Amino acid sequence: MNNIRNQLIGTWTLLKKELLRFWRVAFQTVAAPVITGILYLLIFSHVLDGRLEVYEGVPYMAFLIPGLIMMSLLQNSFSNSSSSLIQAKVMGNIVFLLLTPLSYIQLFFSFLIASIARGIFVGFCIYLIATLYIDLPIKHPLIVFLFAFFGGGLMGAFGIVAGVWSQRFDQMAAFGNFVIMPLSMLSGVFYSIHSLPVSWQKVSQLNPFFYMIDGFRYGFFGQSDVSPYFSLIIVILFFIVLSYGTIRMLKSGYKLRG
């Protein structure tokens, strides 16, 4: 009854539904974050371009773009899985998924891949628009992809945890406002951590967002605050640990099955 072909169809169906879900409201899920990213870019680059050079030979506007792309990618990957789950729970239609033979692994991968896809799509749109203003070649495309994939995956998994844990929309908003937003703003999107006092540099190094943004930026310029390989290992480790925890949580039925 439940052979591999059936399982693949089940996983693909949920993935397709999750992709369509955000695409149906692309004005909110894609256009809005792209516009926010571009506004950050225009305002900060207008104020600081020419006054600040973080990396030698890299204009501030160019320095800013990879950080903004990654910040939007991470926030949107988180939003995709978390908002889908909290809406399904509040509306009650989560039951349609829980009644099916889909395993917790299938649920995890469908939500995760849809989250990565939305994050990368939003990031790519920001990149495309940004290249209208400035020439921005990518020096190490594979590094860019790996950070985008694992960063998006990490936040997609975190979104699943938040979506399963939250019972109400305000609890979900608290994740965004008090966890995701401060961690992304204090991750070196707008500055190099070398410009910070030593104590704050150490604090920044405890922030996983810092490694995702720093490594992603390396892919564009070949320059970074810490080794991109060290950053990649940190990001992959976080991804593995969080994914394992998320899968365990889904398997236990925590807050989903009574």
Partner 1 sequence: MKKAIAFKSVKKNYGKLKAVNGITLSIKEGEFFGLLGPNGAGKSTLINMLAGLVRPTSGSISAMGFDVVKDYQNARHSLGIVPQELVFDPFFNLREMLRFQAGYFGKGKSNDAWVDEVIERLDLKAKASTNMRMLSGGMKRRALIAQALVHRPPVIVLDEPTAGVDVELRQKLWTFIKELNTEGHTIVLTTHYLEEAEALCNRVAMLRAGKVVALDTTTNLLKKFAAKNLKLRLSLKNKFKLSSIIKGINFSVDGDFYTFELKKIDDIGRIISALNKVSIEILDMETVDQDLENIFLKLTGNEIKYE
Footprint on this chain of partner 1 (rule: CB under 8 A): 1-3, 5-7, 9-10, 12-14, 16-17, 20-21, 24-25, 88, 91-93, 95-103, 253, 257-258
Query: What is the number of other CB atoms lying within 10 angstroms of the CB of residue 162?
Result: 24
Least spacing, CB of residue 167 vs partner 1, in Å: 16
Q: Which is nearer to partner 1, 50 or 101 (CB)?
A: 101
Judge whether 85 and 163 are in contact, CB under 8 Å. yes
Q: For the purposes of burial, counting CB atoms within 10 Å of the CB of 215, is it exposed (0-12), middle (13-18) or buried (19 or more)? A: buried
Distance of CA 73 to the CA centre of its chain: 4
Amino acid at 71: M
Least spacing, CB of residue 251 vs partner 1, in Å: 12
* DSSP strands (E only) in the chain: none
Least spacing, CB of residue 248 vs partner 1, in Å: 16
Judge whether 144 and 60 are in contact, CB under 8 Å. no
CA atoms within 13 A on the CB side of 46: 6
* Summary count for the chain: helices (H), strands (E): 12, 0
Q: Which is nearer to partner 1, 20 or 39 (CB)?
A: 20
Least spacing, CB of residue 33 vs partner 1, in Å: 19
Q: Which is nearer to partner 1, 20 or 31 (CB)?
A: 20
Note the residue count of the chain. 258
Least spacing, CB of residue 2 vs partner 1, in Å: 4
Q: Which is nearer to partner 1, 20 or 47 (CB)?
A: 20
Least spacing, CB of residue 110 vs partner 1, in Å: 10
Q: Which is nearer to partner 1, 1 or 142 (CB)?
A: 1
Judge whether 203 and 193 are in contact, CB under 8 Å. no
Q: Which is nearer to partner 1, 57 or 92 (CB)?
A: 92
CA pair distance 73, 156, nearest whole angstrom: 10
